[in-house]
Amino acid sequence: MSWKSIILTGISLLFFAACQTDSTGNNEAVKYKRTSDTVIIRMESEPDRLTPLMTTSSYARRVFRQSFFPLEGYDFKTKQYESLLLSKPPQITDITDGPFAGGVAYTLELHPEAVWDNGTPVTGNDYLFTLKAVFNPLVTARAPLYRAFFSRIKSVEIDEENPKKFTVIVGIKDIINREIVTGEIPILPEYHYDANGLMRGFSLESLQDPDQLELLKTDPNIIAFADFFNDPTTSSVPENIVGCGPYSLTEWIPGERITMVKKENWWGDALADQFPQLRAYPQSLVFVPISNPATALQALRAEEIDVMRNINAQTFQELQEENKLREVFNLHSSGSMSYFFVSVNSNVPKLSDKKVRQALAHAINTKEIIDNLYSGMGDQIASPVFRELPYYNDNLRPVEFDLDRARTLLTDAGWKDTNDNGIVDKMINGELTDLSLQYNYVSSSETSKNIALLIQDNAQRVGIEIIPNPVEPRMSIQLLVAKDYELGSAGSTVTATWNPKQSWHSSGDNRTGFGNAETDALIDEITVTLNEEERFAMYRELQEIIYDEMVQIFLFAPKERLAIHKRFNAETTVEVPGYNPRFFQLTKIQ
């Protein structure tokens, strides 16, 4: 079946009648081919599964977040945690004595109205069950990744008189505790995913005890639960996807479409005015996998999809000149919470002097990269922190393209072209060494290759030889993690709460060799400082050090490129994928 047949078949089966009339009751002719309250979304790839613990796919998250909710979500407009399932903000208390002294208690209370699909209330027991599912040692997929985060949660104490009220005990103070406790994982219904109570006989403490790990793996209840939960049908068959969110999965035809329909009398509708994250307007959502950009663009022009993101930058600019398309679609271009950079391995002797790294940064024409390869759709950056966050260091400026400054820095660092071969050199460990650097880039990306060539061309002008080296995407990551590289193209996403320990502490996934005892101590202090004013000051100090050391040569944050059908009043966001379809509100057709 062709892509066009797939989309049209899905529409005709489910929504054809609604597509023929103006849903506002206006019988006049309209300019749109479809006017229904169904959002059809192009996906670049298809999810593997649709239960939160059983997938590592970002595409799956875009689907399951319409059915499964965590307790809170971070709103980048308000720069605050906003409630999804909580009736009030968490009550946070330091623990000063007892077995968890030095930790933090989060007392939480769920909306009285929050219920599962069978009408039973969402309670603290479901939260505890979700954690137990994470720590079942035989549950696979994403669960092992979650365990590292949730190991700090030591206990969940449920109020005997009100099971919607419970307290989560976290063993350490850390700035990301709230994100982990309330925002990291969607809650699963115990009644559905553990109907026989297989996990009830295990405490959270016992599941986290390394001394019991091997014994747990042989327990028949642990095995039985994991067999059920790991079964692909548990996370792909519509009747097995059960959450408390506004949409139910009604159909998944692999390679064709995933259809979700809004639940009748969903409990969140009555609370949406007070808790905006609970808004859910469209009557149905259809996710259509179309991997080929040209095919997707053809579907967009034919008005057979309503949403397309990650449009090629040059194509996006061309679309802005297409009057016919602009009559039907709004084109959105805004900042995104991701950025590109050149990763520099400071452990390599040739790159151990920060003046060399700074020289290389000045020899990279980032504006040229943005203009030539991204049609100007990117913002130069100077920090790993998203510019809109309150602790971004505004004193930092993107490194200027300045070949004279690059040459001066190289000379100051002792690099000169002593043998007239066009490459600066220096004695290192008794051997004359050219400043020749291998630059790894992703072989499957033509843009990544072109960035490498632009960097090579300008670096050559100051006597630095750049040797572009194409590597497979997976190998590119492996080389960075192993620190087996000199220069490498890289990208990163930005989170609401920046935890620098992961990438910048010597004990973390530090791929550049950044840091020393002083910066480690600063990072350690940041992670336990809950006072925002004090922590923000330390954040800014760390950004200055990172900027000076230049182990990441910051390039730019690409702008999101979205097309959304004009019949929807659609909010955009800096979070990937740049929108949330359940917030799309059908407007009156003119």
pLDDT in tens, the chain (590 residues): 344 443 444 444 343 333 433 444 343 345 789 899 999 999 998 999 999 999 878 899 999 999 999 999 988 888 789 999 999 999 999 999 999 999 999 999 999 999 999 999 999 999 999 999 999 999 998 898 889 889 999 999 999 999 999 999 999 999 999 999 999 899 999 999 999 999 999 999 999 999 999 999 999 999 999 999 999 999 999 999 999 999 999 999 999 999 999 999 999 999 999 999 999 999 999 999 998 999 999 999 999 999 999 898 889 999 999 999 999 999 999 877 889 999 999 999 999 999 999 999 999 999 999 999 999 999 999 999 988 888 999 999 999 999 999 999 999 999 999 999 999 999 999 999 999 999 999 998 888 999 999 999 999 999 999 999 999 987 998 899 899 999 999 998 877 789 898 899 998 889 999 999 999 999 999 998 989 999 999 999 999 999 999 999 999 999 989 999 999 999 898 888 999 999 999 997 54
Structure tokens at 543: 């950004």
> How many Cβ atoms sit within 10 Å of the Cβ of residue 324?
9
Parallel, antiparallel, or unpaired for β 487-493 and 436-442? parallel
Minimal CA–CA distance to 103: which of 111, 93, 90? 93
Measured in degrees and rounded to the nearest 5, phi and psi for residue 504 equal -115, -10
**Can you tell me the distance from the alpha carbon of 411 to that of 407, in angstroms, rounded to the nearest whole number?**
6
Distance of CA 82 to the CA centre of its chain: 18
Minimal CA–CA distance to 574: which of 250, 338, 229? 338
For residue 521, give every residue at least 6 positions away whose Cβ sits within 8 Å of its Cβ, in sequence order, or none: none
Minimal CA–CA distance to 42: which of 447, 563, 445, 444? 563
**Can you tell me the distance from the alpha carbon of 43 to that of 516, in angstroms, rounded to the nearest whole number?**
43
Parallel, antiparallel, or unpaired for β 165-170 and 104-109? antiparallel
pLDDT for 445: 85
pLDDT for 509: 86
> How many Cβ atoms sit within 10 Å of the Cβ of residue 288?
25
**Can you tell me the distance from the alpha carbon of 336 to that of 387, in angstroms, rounded to the nearest whole number?**
10
DSSP 158: E
Q: Can you tell me which residue has the tokens 């100090």?
A: 541
CATH topology of domain 52-239: Dipeptide-binding Protein; domain 1 (3.90.76)
CB 560 within 8 A of CB 572: yes
Minimal CA–CA distance to 491: which of 447, 428, 432, 426? 447
Question: What are residue 339's DSSP bridge partners?
Answer: 492
Greatest CA separation found in the chain?
A: 85
Residues in the chain: 590
What string of DSSP letters covers 167-206?
A: EEEESS--TTHHIIIIISS----HHHHTTT-TTTTS-HHH
Q: Can you tell me which residue has the tokens 């506002």?
A: 24
CB 486 within 8 A of CB 350: yes
| Radius of gyration (C-alpha) of the chain in whole angstroms | 26
pLDDT for 589: 56
| Domain 3-49+240-335+560-586 architecture | 3-Layer(aba) Sandwich (3.40)
Parallel, antiparallel, or unpaired for β 307-308 and 338-344? unpaired
Amino acid (one-letter) located at 161: E
pTM of the predicted structure, to 2 decimals: 0.81
pLDDT for 401: 98
DSSP 382: S
pLDDT for 30: 53
Measured in degrees and rounded to the nearest 5, phi and psi for residue 148 equal -60, -40
Q: What is the Cβ-side half-sphere exposure of residue 64, based on CA atoms within 13 angstroms?
A: 31
In order of 41, 97, 184, 558, the CA distances from 1 in angstroms are 19, 65, 38, 35
| Domain 338-558 architecture | Roll (3.10)
| In the chain, where the domains are located | 3-49+240-335+560-586, 52-239, 338-558
pLDDT digits (tens, 9 = 90+) for 16-52: 333 433 444 343 345 789 899 999 999 998 999 999 9
Structure tokens at 217: 């793996």
Q: What is the Cβ-side half-sphere exposure of residue 230, based on CA atoms within 13 angstroms?
A: 15
pLDDT for 336: 79
